[in-house]
Structure formats: structure tokens, C-alpha cells
A and B are shown apart, each in its own frame.
Chain A
Amino acid sequence: KNEVEQSPQNLTAQEGEFITINCSYSVGISALHWLQQHPGGGIVSLFMLSSGKKKHGRLIATINIQEKHSSLHITASHPRDSAVYICAGDFGNEKLTFGTGTRLTIIP
């Protein structure tokens, strides 16, 4: 069964802190997506990973194929980073399976 699990469910941190959100998945994944959703807003694709590491500004995403695990890191967090972060697995069948999301709140 294609499954994606995400943790933590909620995360509150002070501005400037280093943030880590974790995602684990079942076998057979062809790509792992990290998405961002602001309250009442649309979904923005942050990263698509099949191996290794990607960086965009203060955001870093890593994936370990052997461990079936991915992490999203935010360096020097800022209140505007407050959003729901969602990981989603592509199991090669053209439909994403989503984690339940991590609600991140950065306090000034």
C-alpha cells in the first residue's frame, strides 16, 4: 500500500530557529514532493526529489532512498515561513499520495 507519513503535525518555533520536518514513505516511490500551503491559499511546489539534496534559498530538502525518508529544513526561519508543509509521494502511477501536513508557526 502506498503510504506517506509526516511529522510533526504541528511545530512552533522562534524566529531564526532551524526547522526540520520529516517524511517517511513506503516502498516503490519514484519521486517525493514538498509543498507549501498558506491558510486559505493555494499550493506551491517547493521541491521534487528522487535522490540526494536540493536547496532553494533558505530551504533545503534531502531524501534517503535506503531509509525511505525525506526531510525539509528551513534555515533562519521567519514569520512569513508560517504555513502548512506537505510531503507527497509519487509511486509511479501518476497520482500523488499526501502526508497529513505539518502546520508551522514562526513567532517573531
Chain B
Amino acid sequence: NAGVMQNPRHLVRRRGQEARLRCSPMKGHSHVYWYRQLPEEGLKFMVYLQKENIIDESGMPKERFSAEFPKEGPSILRIQQVVRGDSAAYFCASSPSLGQSSGNTIYFGEGSWLTVV
């Protein structure tokens, strides 16, 4: 039973390019969460998705960032026109049906490290 799979593990983008980060949740998990860890800072919630629905995107920057979790395939975190300040580690996590607040353990991926040059 594979864990939460994230790719790419490391991504380098020039300013102005687009970054796409992918997350495949654990088998049977329908809840996906994205968190960002800026250099020398703690983790911060970005967005919570269920299949085909964005449930809570209160942690997403208002512009350039979007997320989706389609019926088929991985969840995608998309950052358009990247800037240096987007350089961070982006972690995906998943939990089973009913979500983490119902007492289900949350499982994290290995993270995707984005560097904007």
C-alpha cells in the first residue's frame, strides 16, 4: 500500500514560469490537503479538497495559485508566474473518508521543493 506520493520532489523554475505539483493520495483516501513550508518558517495550511471539490481554500494566496483534485488522477497544485517568494516546500497530505477532524490519521507525502531562480 503505497503512501502519499508527490512529484516532482525537486523543481526549479525561472521567475514567470508555471509550476505544477502533483499529489496522489493513499489508496482509498478521498481527502487531500496542501501545506506550504517557507524557508525557516513553520508549515501553513493552503487548501483542502475532496474529489472534484475545493472545500476550503482559505490559506491560498489570492492570485496565481490554484488547486484541483479531479475525479481521476492526482491532485494538482498550480502556481502561475512564479516569483522568488514562492520558493518553499509544498507538502500534500491525505486522510480517509470523513477527513482528519473525524479522528482519522493524516498521512503526509515526502514534499515537493520548489526553487524559483
Contacts and interface: CB of A to CB of B under 8 A. Distances in A.
A96 B110 contact: no
B65 interface: no
B7 to A, nearest CB: 13
A97 B45 contact: yes
A86 B93 CA distance: 15
A105 to B, nearest CB: 17
Interface in B42-77: 42-45, 48, 55-56, 58-59
Contacts of B108: 35, 42-45
Interface stretch (A15-23, A55-63, A65-73, A87-95): A87-95
Interface of B: 31, 33, 35, 41-45, 48, 55-56, 58-59, 91, 93, 99-101, 103, 105-111, 113
A50 B42 CA distance: 22
A97 to B, nearest CB: 7
A40 B56 CA distance: 28
A26 interface: no
Interface residues of A, number: 25
Contact of A95 (B33, B42, B110): B33
A49 B60 CA distance: 28
A31 B58 CA distance: 21
A86 B43 contact: yes
A95 B68 CA distance: 17
